[in-house]
């Protein structure tokens, strides 16, 4: 059953008047008719089945609540060194599927793409739509937050209980334990940091260390910029949701 995130201004008691974007999707993509049902996620993260009572006007009526919780039990913030546009959009989609709660686009010294905060904001609507559609597809109850573009001096406001930065030099030096040790700690929030295609400058790593961020390797192989955050999110998800069920 198709899922839609609903804004508070579109809710009137047990009725919803869907926004133009969702309305167009219902009519032209899904070709819904009156009497068919969809799943709607409200701003309070409650999930309901709604019946379409007027597809021409986009009016839905609440039928019953669905009890579900598909979110990670920890809040994951991804600070991501801005790569080329197509890679960034791909990471937005896949990181959402893997449970990220917040994404911080970071303009690193070695970012290949040339942009600034104003230029980045012009693409925000497209980025938010990618996050919304990925959240609907993966049956989440929230759409991840996407902050404005930041620079290294602004990272401290996005730190968590535990904080790690993926740094390929740690792998070359034979360090393979920091990430695993971090995930064994008692934490409710975690920030993971990944650089752009060119990696991090050593001065950036030193500054992050001064913020209390621990450099870590992601194993013996060097991962691409777009692979590393998904690897880290997958490991976090496994450690929080699946490891306990393994007969180790």
pLDDT in tens, 34-46: 999 999 999 999 9
pLDDT for res 91: 96
Whichever domain contains 140, its CATH number is 3.40.1280.10
Domain co-membership, 57 together with 136 = no
Per-residue confidence band for 245, with pLDDT thresholds at 50, 70 and 90: low
pLDDT for res 71: 96
Q: Can you tell me the mean pLDDT for 115-137?
A: 93
- What are the CA-CA distances from residue 185 to residues 77, 156, 209, 241 (Å)? 17, 20, 19, 15
Task: State the sign of the Cα–Cα–Cα–Cα dihedral 7, 11, 14, 17.
Answer: negative
Whichever domain contains 52, its CATH number is 2.40.240.20
The DSSP 8-state label assigned to residue 40 in this structure reads E
pLDDT for res 171: 64
Q: Around 18, how many Cα atoms within 13 Å sit in the side-chain half-sphere?
A: 28
Alpha-carbon distance of 52 to 30, in angstroms, equals 12
Domain co-membership, 61 together with 107 = no
Domain co-membership, 42 together with 82 = no
Domain co-membership, 135 together with 189 = yes
The DSSP 8-state label assigned to residue 27 in this structure reads I
List b or e across 225-248, with b for residues whose CB sees 16 or more CB atoms inside 10 angstroms.
Answer: bbbbbbbbbebbbeebeeeeeeee
Instruction: Convert the pLDDT of each residue in 51-86 to its tens digit.
Output: 999 999 999 999 999 999 999 999 999 999 988 768
Among 17, 45, 66, identify where a domain stops: 66
Q: Around 143, how many Cα atoms within 13 Å sit in the side-chain half-sphere?
A: 19
Per-residue confidence band for 110, with pLDDT thresholds at 50, 70 and 90: confident
Domain co-membership, 164 together with 210 = yes
CB neighbour list of residue 67: distance below 8 Å, 6 or more residues apart: 47
pLDDT for res 84: 79
pLDDT for res 172: 65
Per-residue confidence band for 31, with pLDDT thresholds at 50, 70 and 90: very high
Instruction: Convert the pLDDT of each residue in 86-101 to its tens digit.
Output: 899 999 999 999 999 9
Beta bridge partners of 90: none
Domain co-membership, 58 together with 148 = no
Domain co-membership, 33 together with 155 = no
Domain co-membership, 43 together with 115 = no
Domain co-membership, 86 together with 195 = yes
Among 49, 66, 83, identify where a domain stops: 66
Domain co-membership, 38 together with 92 = no
Local structure of 101: helix, strand or coil: coil
Structure tokens at 132: 């919304």
Residue-range definition of the domain harbouring residue 38:
3-66
CB 81 within 8 A of CB 194: yes
* Mean pLDDT for the chain overall: 92
Instruction: Convert the pLDDT of each residue in 223-236 to its tens digit.
Output: 999 999 999 999 99
Measured distance between the N- and C-terminal CA atoms of the chain, rounded to whole angstroms = 37
Instruction: Convert the pLDDT of each residue in 197-216 to its tens digit.
Output: 888 989 999 999 999 999 99
How many folded domains does the chain comprise? 2
Domain co-membership, 197 together with 98 = yes
Among 66, 95, 115, identify where a domain stops: 66
Domain co-membership, 217 together with 94 = yes
Q: Can you tell me the mean pLDDT for 125-138?
A: 96
């Amino acid at each position: 059953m198709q899922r839609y995130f609903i804004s508070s201004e579109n809710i009137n008691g047990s009725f919803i008047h869907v926004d133009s974007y969702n309305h167009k999707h219902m009519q032209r993509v899904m070709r819904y008719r009156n009497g068919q049902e969809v799943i709607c996620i409200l701003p309070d993260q409650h999930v309901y089945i709604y019946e379409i009572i007027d597809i021409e006007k986009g009016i839905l009526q609440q039928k019953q609540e669905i009890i579900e919780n598909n979110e990670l039990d920890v809040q994951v913030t991804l600070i991501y060194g801005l790569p080329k546009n197509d890679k960034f959009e791909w990471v937005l989609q896949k990181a959402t599927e893997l449970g990220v709660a917040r994404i911080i686009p970071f303009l690193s010294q070695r970012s290949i793409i040339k942009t600034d905060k104003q230029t980045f904001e012009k693409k925000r609507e497209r980025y938010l739509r990618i996050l919304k559609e990925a959240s609907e597809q993966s049956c989440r109850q929230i759409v991840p937050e996407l902050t404005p573009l930041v620079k290294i001096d602004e990272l401290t406001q996005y730190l968590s209980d535990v904080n790690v930065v993926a740094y390929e030099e740690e792998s070359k030096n034979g360090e393979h334990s920091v990430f695993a040790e971090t995930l064994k700690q008692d934490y409710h929030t975690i920030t993971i940091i990944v650089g752009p295609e060119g990696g991090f400058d050593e001065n950036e790593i030193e500054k992050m260390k001064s913020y209390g961020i621990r450099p870590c390797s992601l194993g013996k192989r060097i991962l691409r910029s777009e692979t590393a955050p998904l690897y880290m999110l997958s490991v976090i998800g496994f450690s929080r949701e699946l490891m306990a069920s393994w007969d180790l």
